[in-house]
Structure 1
Amino acid sequence: MFKKLPGDEARSLVSTTPDTAVVFRPAVVQTPAIITILIFLGRLIVGLVRTTWRHPVAVGVLAVPAALCWLYGWRVALVTATIPLSVLIPWALFDRSTFNAWIGWRLLAWWRLIWVYRRHWQPVMMISGLGRHLRGRDCLPRLLKVTCTSWADVVTVKMLTGQAVKDWADRIEHLAHGFGAVSCRVTVTRAGRLLLTFPRCDPLVVPLPAVSVPDTPTVGPVEVGKQEDGQPWRLKVHGTHVLVAGATGAGKGSVIWSAIRGLLPAVRAGLVELWALDPKLMELSFGRAIFGHRYAADPEECADLLDEAVSVMQKRAARFAGVQRNHIPTVEDPFILVIVDEVAFLTAYQPDRALRQRITAALATLTTQGRAVGVGVLAALQDPRKEVMNIRNLFPDKIALRLDESEQVDMVLGDGARDRGALADHISPIPEQGAGIGFVRLETSPDPIRVRAAYVSDADIRDMARDLVRGEAA
């Protein structure tokens, strides 16, 4: 029994080939020309209004001279266009930042929208698998907006119904190469909408000098470098624990010493104590005077120092119980930052099993109970595997510098971090180009942030130790 459909009747169709499906030819409805014209005009008007609303500067640059040329001739249009150009050109030459903020980036966004993204949108979406061909037409995600900054294009996209963020995160390399960028990062703004960030240049390619020592004591987020968007990178150390992972020469020392440098005024004021564990006897030994008697290099001494930190933490917890829930640094109860340079040497490579278990238990206790009473841990390691560092998930904030393997990125920053654009395994191994560059994933946000830590030289460290000793002596 055939279902009745519009078009040819089923009884009049005959198939003489066995196992061949009968094809029905649908009826063709003739649309009046006036309706087609009205639909076209409506879409044209909506498109013009949308373009004018989103790109007023670009539309004005093109529309005003064209209108003047049409109404008064090309001479009037040329004279009229010369007046604003005589103002805009000096503005762009002598005050580039404000010119770009008001006009430059808007014009660039319009140009890249037309010439790069809208021009290649359909083939990139279809070839990458983010678009679908259904019922004879291409269903594509909507390209909503393009915004340009000094270093990247930020593309706002509305996903197709039924798509997931992972569908886009799995295709960041397709998107990057399709639109001529070196990388792509995916950020969720709200349900159904994404931000795709395509860098045009690398603002972190030049090494950064050491950040100036703050004038006032602070235990809040300390400036340790610069973010990719040009903003200062401030690392939170009080009220959290930080894990820094990176291969040899990746710049772990830059992060550690920049954090110490930012805390020096608070150390002088007695609001912060720095406890250092330096099993390699290389990194933290340059500033040994900064740590005083809170410095340990021998594994057994490191275990004793960790046990002492646990004891201080537990005594504070007993005094704070029922009185206060958050720690406020004072001279009587200063913030204690336990710095461990190569934590894997103590937790995995230590041949003494009893000592290894003791150190691991102390670190686990500090990272699970220390935040509320003002005891933080800043640990660095090279190998982030679970069997090497089985308590890495106890660190809320994580930093991934240059890593050897792509799988290690998610080991450090959490599942899905590399799919969102944290390509820590692609960072250059050349020290001048890649040392100190990494990705940060904070407890409060799943989106990785690309940063570069400032380089603190040996001379800077010696000056820091000398100035601290002089200040305490005075």
Structure 2
Amino acid sequence: MRQPKIGATQTSPTLPTPAQGVRWTTPIVETPGIVVLASWIWRLLRFLLTLPFRFPVMVACLTSSVGAWWWLDWHGLAALWGLAAVVSLVWWRTWPDSYRRCVLLRLLAWWRHVFVYRRHWQPVLVISGLAESYQERRYLPRIRRVTCDTWADRVRVALVAGTAPADFETRVVELAHGFAAPSCRVIVNGPRDITLEFPRRDTLSEPLEALDIPDSPDLGALPVGRCEDGSTWFLRLHGTHVLVAGVTGAGKGSVLWSAVRALLPAVKAGTAQVWAIDPKRMELSYGRDLFAQYADTGESAVAVLERAVADMQDRASRYAGRQRSHTPTTQDPFVLVLLDEVAFLTAYHPDRDIRKRAENAIATLTSQGRSVGFCVLVALQDPRKEVMNLRNLFPDKVALRLDEASQVDMVLGEGAREHGAGAHLIDPSLPGVAYVRLEGSPTPVRVRAAYVSDDDITAMAAAYGTGVA
């Protein structure tokens, strides 16, 4: 019998016990060097082949410069660049908008592509948790193109197979800070194709004065402010209902008065009416001569709401079997029911019967009034369900500055924060700045309502006042 050597360690195979189980590991596959070399050669060829299509201006300039130097020596190169400078100067002075769009913004896009996004792409995505690993390899979404306009950069990204736009939507804060942008928004273009929108500056930092009153207002697009991209913010009232939420001082009055201001020519023509309810007796009472109906107590407010319900149901009975949509006329005007601090009627009024009647009237108006020309525009501070449990009956929602992050989804709907709506992060020094989410649109839009001053309201009441019924 063979004896073990002295000093040697005797080992014996051990079998896994049922408690230990069996550990399965994925083997690490080492890629052959020839495959890695071929991969790099293919990437280089693809880069060279696609370069003229990705950067046509840069390639054309380099090619023409090299050609001029090759055939005409440095004299030809100097003449070419002198001619280009003269043409560029004439173009800039004659057609500045075209020059900025075709030259300056393209140069800016190239610069930010190379020195901002391409340079920081890998560390930002890895630290943000957007890099994927498979068999000891790391896969990153690829930048396809960077474009710039006057206020934002748009980075078009090709996603890694197996990932989804939601992965980026939950990381918009990390992406914004990673690329030193005020915010980030994710736009889905198609399968594995998204665009990241990074504003370069806050275009809504300056207050916006009251907009001009339109000559013939469109009830489906009333100008009330400005969007982040510089375009006019149009608020739709006809055929919808609007919920406006924000803490004290967030600028709810700017939204309400801007909507009333844009509606005034229709009010004067008799094709629109505003019925106002103002429990605070401070915001809307200043221009009460503009309203066909006005109430500032719980009992009178409920009476106005129930009168609106009765008129709406009478109109619906006349329309039944004859027409399916409403056209504003002097006989059947568009009616805007304007409620400031609606929580006073639905949650805080001491009389339970008043609260119940008000909630029933608001629910009836918001569920049946759209097609017959009744719109409910309400403003509140606290969006919790126990304060306002009718939020889902308002198709269009406006979130001004809010106290808590959870309130953003309460007001704008589930997933609003993931789509870049940071209403809880709005600076208190920016009243009127808000995020708007319209019916059928998953992407919130950042806007700022115009400020309607007391002098503006006084002038409006003097020119368009009709008296209180």
The structure-2 alpha-carbon separation of the partners of 1:22 and 1:397, relative to structure 1 and needing over 3 Å to count, comes to: closer
SS of the aligned residue for 1:302 comes to helix
Contact 1:57–1:107 (CA under 8 A) maintained in structure 2: no
1:58 aligns with 2:54: no
Structure 1 residue 71, shift from structure 2 partner: 4.0
- Which shows bigger deviation, 20-29 or 370-379? 20-29
Structure 1 counterpart of 2:296, which letter?
A
The structure-2 alpha-carbon separation of the partners of 1:246 and 1:93, relative to structure 1 and needing over 3 Å to count, comes to: farther
- Which shows bigger deviation, 343-352 or 158-167? 158-167
Alignment of 1:311-390 (within 5 A): 311-390=310-389
Cα offsets for 1:386-442 (capped at 9, x unmatched): 111110111000000111111111110011111111111111111xxx111111000
SS of the aligned residue for 2:418 comes to coil
Cα offsets for 1:25-47 (capped at 9, x unmatched): 98986749xx957x655533421
The structure-2 alpha-carbon separation of the partners of 1:23 and 1:44, relative to structure 1 and needing over 3 Å to count, comes to: closer
Q: Equivalents in 2 of 1:282, 1:28: separation in Å?
A: 74
The structure-2 alpha-carbon separation of the partners of 1:82 and 1:211, relative to structure 1 and needing over 3 Å to count, comes to: same
Q: Equivalents in 1 of 2:245, 2:465: separation in Å?
A: 31
Q: Equivalents in 1 of 2:345, 2:259: separation in Å?
A: 22
Q: Equivalents in 2 of 1:169, 1:17: separation in Å?
A: 54
Q: Equivalents in 2 of 1:30, 1:364: separation in Å?
A: 70
Q: Equivalents in 2 of 1:388, 1:358: separation in Å?
A: 15
SS of the aligned residue for 2:463 comes to helix
- Which shows bigger deviation, 119-128 or 264-273? 119-128
The structure-2 alpha-carbon separation of the partners of 1:172 and 1:138, relative to structure 1 and needing over 3 Å to count, comes to: same
The structure-2 alpha-carbon separation of the partners of 1:154 and 1:136, relative to structure 1 and needing over 3 Å to count, comes to: same
Residue of structure 2 in register with 1:3 after alignment = none
- Which shows bigger deviation, 116-125 or 87-96? 87-96
Residue of structure 2 in register with 1:454 after alignment = 450
- Which shows bigger deviation, 169-178 or 388-397? 169-178
Q: TM-score, normalised by structure 2?
A: 0.90
1:287 aligns with 2:283: no
The structure-2 alpha-carbon separation of the partners of 1:317 and 1:31, relative to structure 1 and needing over 3 Å to count, comes to: same
Residue of structure 2 in register with 1:97 after alignment = 97
Structure 1 residue 217, shift from structure 2 partner: 4.4
- Which shows bigger deviation, 179-188 or 371-380? 179-188
Alignment of 1:246-285 (within 5 A): 246-285=246-285
SS of the aligned residue for 1:275 comes to strand
Q: Equivalents in 1 of 2:24, 2:271: separation in Å?
A: 83
Q: Equivalents in 2 of 1:109, 1:25: separation in Å?
A: 40
SS of the aligned residue for 1:348 comes to helix
Q: Equivalents in 1 of 2:417, 2:33: separation in Å?
A: 52
1:437 aligns with 2:397: no
Contact 1:58–1:110 (CA under 8 A) maintained in structure 2: no
SS of the aligned residue for 2:307 comes to helix
Structure 1 counterpart of 2:160, which letter?
L
Structure 1 counterpart of 2:55, which letter?
H
**Structure 1 unaligned runs (5+)?**
1-15
The structure-2 alpha-carbon separation of the partners of 1:402 and 1:23, relative to structure 1 and needing over 3 Å to count, comes to: closer
Cα offsets for 1:363-405 (capped at 9, x unmatched): 0110000001110001001111111111011100000011111
Structure 1 residue 107, shift from structure 2 partner: 1.4
Q: TM-score, normalised by structure 1?
A: 0.89
1:82 aligns with 2:78: no
Contact 2:289–2:467 (CA under 8 A) maintained in structure 1: no
Contact 1:218–1:265 (CA under 8 A) maintained in structure 2: no
Q: Equivalents in 2 of 1:26, 1:219: separation in Å?
A: 64
SS of the aligned residue for 2:348 comes to coil
Q: Equivalents in 2 of 1:466, 1:254: separation in Å?
A: 19
Aligned length: 450
1:116 aligns with 2:112: no
1:200 aligns with 2:196: no
SS of the aligned residue for 1:173 comes to helix
Residue of structure 2 in register with 1:177 after alignment = 177
Structure 1 counterpart of 2:453, which letter?
S
Contact 1:58–1:107 (CA under 8 A) maintained in structure 2: no
Residue of structure 2 in register with 1:400 after alignment = 399
Cα offsets for 1:259-287 (capped at 9, x unmatched): 11111111111110100001100111111
Structure 1 residue 57, shift from structure 2 partner: 2.3
Contact 1:217–1:269 (CA under 8 A) maintained in structure 2: no
SS of the aligned residue for 1:419 comes to helix
Contact 1:255–1:436 (CA under 8 A) maintained in structure 2: yes
Percent of pairs with identical residues: 51
The structure-2 alpha-carbon separation of the partners of 1:257 and 1:25, relative to structure 1 and needing over 3 Å to count, comes to: closer
SS of the aligned residue for 1:156 comes to strand
Q: Equivalents in 2 of 1:346, 1:84: separation in Å?
A: 69
Structure 1 counterpart of 2:214, which letter?
P
SS of the aligned residue for 1:387 comes to coil
**Structure 2 unaligned runs (5+)?**
1-10, 15-22
Q: Equivalents in 2 of 1:90, 1:429: separation in Å?
A: 46
Contact 1:238–1:376 (CA under 8 A) maintained in structure 2: yes
Structure 1 counterpart of 2:459, which letter?
D
Q: Equivalents in 2 of 1:23, 1:146: separation in Å?
A: 38
The structure-2 alpha-carbon separation of the partners of 1:291 and 1:470, relative to structure 1 and needing over 3 Å to count, comes to: closer
SS of the aligned residue for 1:197 comes to strand
Structure 1 counterpart of 2:153, which letter?
D
Cα offsets for 1:126-171 (capped at 9, x unmatched): 2211112322322111211111111111111122222222211111
The structure-2 alpha-carbon separation of the partners of 1:21 and 1:185, relative to structure 1 and needing over 3 Å to count, comes to: closer
Contact 1:210–1:454 (CA under 8 A) maintained in structure 2: yes
Structure 1 residue 470, shift from structure 2 partner: 8.4
Q: Equivalents in 2 of 1:182, 1:369: separation in Å?
A: 41
The structure-2 alpha-carbon separation of the partners of 1:29 and 1:272, relative to structure 1 and needing over 3 Å to count, comes to: closer
Residue of structure 1 in register with 2:459 after alignment = 463
Structure 2 counterpart of 1:449, which letter?
V
Contact 2:426–2:433 (CA under 8 A) maintained in structure 1: yes
RMSD value, Cα:
2.6
Contact 2:244–2:400 (CA under 8 A) maintained in structure 1: yes
Structure 1 residue 85, shift from structure 2 partner: 1.6
- Which shows bigger deviation, 233-242 or 321-330? 321-330
Structure 1 counterpart of 2:48, which letter?
L
Q: Equivalents in 2 of 1:139, 1:401: separation in Å?
A: 39
Cα offsets for 1:296-350 (capped at 9, x unmatched): 1011100000000000011111111111111111111111000001111111111
